[in-house]
Structure 1
Amino acid sequence: MLAIRRRLVTNLLPIVQTRAHKMEENKTDGIFSYADSLLSLELPGGGKLKESEVTTLCYEFLTAGVSTVVSSLQWAMANLVKYPDVQAKLFKEIERVTQKNGGVINEEDLKKMPYLKAVILETLRRQPTIHTLLPHRVSEDISLEGYTIPKNTYVSFMLVSMGLDGKVWQDPLEFKPERFMGGESGTREIKMIPFGAGRRVCPGMGLGMFHLEYMVAHLIKEFEWKVVAGDEVDMAESMEMDIDYVMKKPLQACIVPRK
């Protein structure tokens, strides 16, 4: 962690300092950036953020949703390689929606692809990249399902356990996007929370889902993804970097152009 911090400071701190000097000299070329907003922020009670704090916040802004989206994308494609029938069904949906505009996938087209969204949601249920949410602290004594949770107790939510709960999901170990096409997934109950829920829900949820749907749609539209001969898809997971769970054995696939 110390090595990561040193690399972060080496790469970003000079950029923040340069921006601070430009603000002092009023040479920002009429652009007001995220770093500018942090450097000009007045803290409650007076004072400003330190340059090291601004550097950390800029790093979070740039990378908070990157590793999790990349991991989820690889898990989604691994499932589509492992289950060619699901891939074929998804490709038919993409073809049907895009045939009117020459095969181009626009943002609005994604809303017309429910099976695509179901594939992403089933991936997030079956292989959530983060297994536990950030802990929350109870502000007062509370009773929940017969359990007493005292004030100031830290509570963690096990996302992976929720997604694999046999009392909630039928055949929880199976990859079945159809469960999100209505019925089992439900609309009134919270059965999985890969982005959290309530006031502390991930602010990047919409962007993360858009990135996953957009990239998966293009990868399936342009290529057929097949298992490499003699190399079956290994769905074992590992937490080696950061906080997200990745494929222990990175996906290897035989990619064939559709056209």
Structure 2
Amino acid sequence: MLDWIFLFLTISLCLASRLLLSKLSNTSKKKQTLPPGPRYIPILSSILFLRRSLFDFEPILRSLHAKFGPVLTLRITSRPSIFIADRDLAHQALVQAGATFADRLTATEASRLLTSNRHNISSAPYGPLWRLLRRNLTAEILHPSRIKLFAPARRWVLDILVNNLKSKSETGDGVVVVMESFQYAMFCLLVFMCFGERLDEKTIRDIEAVQRHLLSSFVKFNVFAFLPKITKLVFRERWNSLLAIRQKQEEIFIPLIRARRDRKQQPGNGDGKNNSNRIFVYSYVDSLLGLQHPEDGGRKLSEGEIVSLCSEFLSGGTDTTATALQWILANLVKHQEIQAKLREEIEGVVGSEGEEIKEEDLQKMPYLKAVIMEGLRRHPPGHFVLPHTVREDVTLNGYLIPRGAAINFTVAEMGWDGKVWEQPMEFKPERFLAGGSGEGVDITGSREIKMMPFGVGRRICPGLGLAMLHLEYFVANLVREFEWKAVDGEAVDLSEKLEFTVVMKNPLRTRLVSRRKD
């Protein structure tokens, strides 16, 4: 408690100084005004932000947008935060003026530590380093030709997931809580894509544990966004905890990176096999080992920088996909008629006794795609994109968007816009079929924004294609394998809470009945 009082007083003095200086400075910016918003209460606003996440403010934001309009200003800190909830304005900013709005905020002390001073795709400033890292990921790992090479790994992970769910369904009362199984399966797949090896379960669990610890603690590290020299002293135990997490992460990741470097250098690996005749699968780490820093004399990336990029790769592709998978299957449990229609489509393509649904089969399943799209529209794993910023003052909708302001876009609200979607809070895959309001919708938002679960513009999620493939592949195979039934006496609860992603407040519990004989 004394720590918080000391921090409160320190912030009060600093903010008073800032306000005095701002009044003495020139007033040239008064020609344009910031978007409207509620009155800023300096100390109280900052303290509230220290203790809460952006998700907690979502109901408040809805009422503020209703009062002030689609663009509003909140002064959560001394730096204004702009919130944009209008699809057309989001398109103007992120697509039409994409380069202008493509930058990221200055990193906090905690973020600099965890990203090796902004050496990952999500936090790097818009410029040569960001272009290099993003181009490497999209061309070397996420290119469709590369993704096909990981098909055996997807089958391996599908077997892990199905066996895990079967085992749980055959014990106790037969009720399965599925989220942990989804997360572990997706994590196995991303670990393989990252390091190119089927690691043993203990190693995978160790990597998963440190990543989970990092994500679960991240909100606590917001405090270091304010007066870091002081907060690192006031909250020194918290800072030491962050240092320990990073050290543990490096202790696990760096030996894997070094082993990959050694194996890549063995003769024959360029042809897909090494001299022991083992298949060499090109991995994300392999692509990073040869990169040269465009802004630092052409040096290669350090081991710490590669650790940060691997951490981003694993986190970005695991919880988001597992979360979307849980939301979609929860709706299939809730709406048995949708599940039955999907199963009918699957059997029409692969037969009732078909084996694994292969990726080429997915192209013949329009209703499956509609189910996935509706899941992403109704339950986007993130309700906001990572904040953008601009390097120079710009104007949007007649308002000043100042240099360095945090610019936020309300992903969920755009997918729930009643002007575009009839009964937007209902789960109706048919809206994405011929004649529906979502027919032919451009999920990238390049033409217009109707939904943006992956963001849009220059900073759109590079893993969009991989995520769609994984969702289609696993949903189709899980519905082929099991009948997903409600637990007797329990209604499926679709209320939300924030973890790393926006997940079900009460995780999905279901009865699984195998559709096929072993």
Deviations 1:234-258, CA, capped at 9 Å, x for gaps:
1122223xx3112222111111222
- Structure 1 position 228, deviation (Å): 0.6
- Structure 1 position 84, deviation (Å): 0.6
Aligned residue in 2 for 1:12: 253
Alignment check: 8 A CA contact 1:78 1:251 kept: yes
Choose from 369, 373, 383 the match for 1:117.
Answer: 369
Alignment check: 8 A CA contact 2:333 2:492 kept: yes
Against the structure 1 CA distance between its residues 11 and 5, is the aligned structure 2 distance closer, same or farther, given a 3 Å change threshold?
same
Against the structure 1 CA distance between its residues 101 and 219, is the aligned structure 2 distance closer, same or farther, given a 3 Å change threshold?
closer
- Structure 1 position 102, deviation (Å): 4.2
What is the count of residue pairs matched by the alignment?
A: 254
The 10-residue stretch of structure 1 (181-190 or 194-203) with the greater mean CA deviation from structure 2: 181-190
2: CA distance, partners of 1:107 / 1:17: 33
Q: Which has the higher helix share?
A: 2
1: CA distance, partners of 2:304 / 2:394: 39
Aligned residue in 1 for 2:486: 227
Aligned residue in 1 for 2:266: 28
Aligned residue in 2 for 1:171: 423
Choose from 382, 385, 390 the match for 1:130.
Answer: 382
Against the structure 1 CA distance between its residues 35 and 109, is the aligned structure 2 distance closer, same or farther, given a 3 Å change threshold?
closer
SS at 2:511 equivalent = strand
Choose from 459, 470, 479 the match for 1:211.
Answer: 470
Against the structure 1 CA distance between its residues 171 and 4, is the aligned structure 2 distance closer, same or farther, given a 3 Å change threshold?
farther
Aligned residue in 1 for 2:292: 42
Aligned residue in 2 for 1:184: 437
SS at 2:269 equivalent = coil
- Structure 1 position 37, deviation (Å): 4.2
Alignment check: 8 A CA contact 2:484 2:513 kept: yes
The one-letter code of the counterpart of 1:38 is L
Aligned residue in 2 for 1:197: 456
Alignment check: 8 A CA contact 2:486 2:510 kept: yes
- Structure 1 position 40, deviation (Å): 3.8
SS at 1:224 equivalent = strand
- Structure 1 position 11, deviation (Å): 1.2
- Structure 1 position 89, deviation (Å): 1.1
The one-letter code of the counterpart of 2:486 is V
SS at 1:130 equivalent = coil
Against the structure 1 CA distance between its residues 18 and 218, is the aligned structure 2 distance closer, same or farther, given a 3 Å change threshold?
closer
Against the structure 1 CA distance between its residues 42 and 189, is the aligned structure 2 distance closer, same or farther, given a 3 Å change threshold?
closer
1: CA distance, partners of 2:481 / 2:292: 49
Task: Report matched runs for 1:245-256 at 5 Å.
Answer: 245-256=502-513
Aligned residue in 2 for 1:72: 324
- Structure 1 position 85, deviation (Å): 1.0
Against the structure 1 CA distance between its residues 219 and 18, is the aligned structure 2 distance closer, same or farther, given a 3 Å change threshold?
closer
Deviations 1:161-201, CA, capped at 9 Å, x for gaps:
11222233211111111111143125453211111122322
Against the structure 1 CA distance between its residues 34 and 150, is the aligned structure 2 distance closer, same or farther, given a 3 Å change threshold?
same
Alignment check: 8 A CA contact 2:372 2:471 kept: yes
2: CA distance, partners of 1:79 / 1:175: 7
Determine which structure has more spread, i.e. the larger CA radius of gyration.
Answer: 2
2: CA distance, partners of 1:163 / 1:54: 35
Q: Can you give the 5+ residue segments of structure 1 that lack an aligned partner in the other structure?
A: none
2: CA distance, partners of 1:189 / 1:101: 42
- Structure 1 position 83, deviation (Å): 0.7
2: CA distance, partners of 1:129 / 1:4: 25
Quote the sequence identity (%): 53
The 10-residue stretch of structure 1 (71-80 or 106-115) with the greater mean CA deviation from structure 2: 106-115
Q: Can you give the 5+ residue segments of structure 2 that lack an aligned partner in the other structure?
A: 1-213, 215-241, 271-282, 442-446
Aligned residue in 1 for 2:237: none
- Structure 1 position 29, deviation (Å): 4.3
SS at 1:14 equivalent = helix
SS at 2:251 equivalent = helix
Aligned residue in 1 for 2:303: 51
Against the structure 1 CA distance between its residues 148 and 179, is the aligned structure 2 distance closer, same or farther, given a 3 Å change threshold?
farther
1: CA distance, partners of 2:245 / 2:432: 39
Against the structure 1 CA distance between its residues 176 and 147, is the aligned structure 2 distance closer, same or farther, given a 3 Å change threshold?
farther
2: CA distance, partners of 1:120 / 1:244: 17
Alignment check: 8 A CA contact 1:95 1:103 kept: no
- Structure 1 position 226, deviation (Å): 0.7
The one-letter code of the counterpart of 1:28 is Q
- Structure 1 position 140, deviation (Å): 4.7
Against the structure 1 CA distance between its residues 203 and 255, is the aligned structure 2 distance closer, same or farther, given a 3 Å change threshold?
same
